[in-house]
Structure 1
Amino acid sequence: MYQHDGFWMWGGGGIFMILFGILLVLAIAALVRLLASSGNPPGSAGSGRKRALEVLEERYAKGEIDRDEYLQKREDLEG
């Protein structure tokens, strides 16, 4: 006769299902973070400066700052 009183009958398999669920959630979260990033590794020094220069160029193009201020700020960012 087949007995149902082993490890799996008393919930041992449930532990593995919980671990699998946690791993699945972590994998999905990692995938979402990867897709949401702009391709630059987190904490890369160049990405912040590049974005700051882009904003500076946009402000100069819109006329929000004059040429002297643009050149000074660009020098500060690059130096």
Structure 2
Amino acid sequence: MMWGYGWDGGWMGPLMGVSAVLWWVLVIVVVLGVVRWLRSPQAPGVGPAPAERDAREILDRRYARGEIDAEEYTERRRVLTGS
């Protein structure tokens, strides 16, 4: 008497097949995620923080956006260069 635990596995066969497929899908998704993260141009924690940007670059952008006028731009640029 086998009580339903014969070679066919009963309901365990399909369950094992589905879990095996889900396992490999998970492995592939994790590997692709790591590869994409490593190939990203700016991985988190790499490069200068926004507060550490070059002051000249910030000044140039503010002038380009019209936040400061030419006189203020020239004065601040002179202060930054020290001349």
Q: What TM-score do the two structures reach when normalised by structure 1? A: 0.49
From the CA coordinates, give the structure whose radius of gyration is larger.
2
Structure of greater relative contact order (alpha carbons < 8 Å, 6+ residues apart): 1
Whichever structure has more helix as a proportion of its residues is 1
- Scaled by the length of structure 2, what TM-score is found? 0.47
